[in-house]
Amino acid sequence: MVRTLDGPLAPIRCASRTAYEMCDDCNDPETCEVRRSMTTVRDAIAEILDTMTLEDFVRNERLPMSAEGEAVEKLAG
């Protein structure tokens, strides 16, 4: 769902599976450590988002977020 709304998940274009573009300053994308690292990040993002449902997004939208980006349950008070 996120890919449909926001496009590729890769943090940089050379790590994208669907919108790959070689970086302007890259000499060899096959051995580039930045690309390798960002591909790992892309895969981690995909692993999380690909298992989320629309219900998960709606439920999480209603929870406040901590400074670290974690959903925080409201305390009854």
The string of pLDDT tens digits covering residues 6-60 is 778 899 999 999 899 999 999 999 999 999 999 999 999 988 888 888 887 777 6
> For 34-68, b where at least 16 C-beta lie within 10 A, e where not — what string?
ebeebbeebeeeeeeeeeeeeeeeeeeeeeeeeee
Q: pTM for the whole thing?
A: 0.66
Name the band, by pLDDT with cuts 50, 70 and 90, for residue 74: low
